[in-house]
Amino acid sequence: MKFLSHAELEIASLLYHYTRGGIDSAFFYELLEKVAQRSRHSVILREERKGYSIELLPSKSPAVTHLERP
């Protein structure tokens, strides 16, 4: 069993609220940037057919990258 890191749990929570229409996209990206800075990870948000996937990469210069569906 794989346990989620604190950053992964935060992002999962944000995605849950975002996909339920709880917050607007600009605020969502602002929150993702804060998570990235706090966790020192780059966050890659990929649009997929049925939602989004998240990848976290350790980074000295954390950032959020949004990759739209091809």
The answer to whether residue 27 scores a pLDDT higher than 70 is yes
Q: Residue 23's pLDDT band (boundaries 50, 70, 90)?
A: low
Widest CA span in the chain: 34
Q: Report yes or no: 58 and 41 within 8 Å, Cβ to Cβ.
A: yes
> What is the reported pLDDT for 30?
80
Q: Report yes or no: 40 and 19 within 8 Å, Cβ to Cβ.
A: no
Residue 51's beta-bridge partner residues?
48
Q: Residue 11's pLDDT band (boundaries 50, 70, 90)?
A: confident
Cα–Cα distance measured from residue 38 to residue 27, given in angstroms and rounded to the nearest whole number: 17
Instruction: Taking each helix axis as running N to C, give the angle between helix 6-19 and helix 25-39, from 0 to 180 degrees, rounded to the nearest 10.
Output: 180
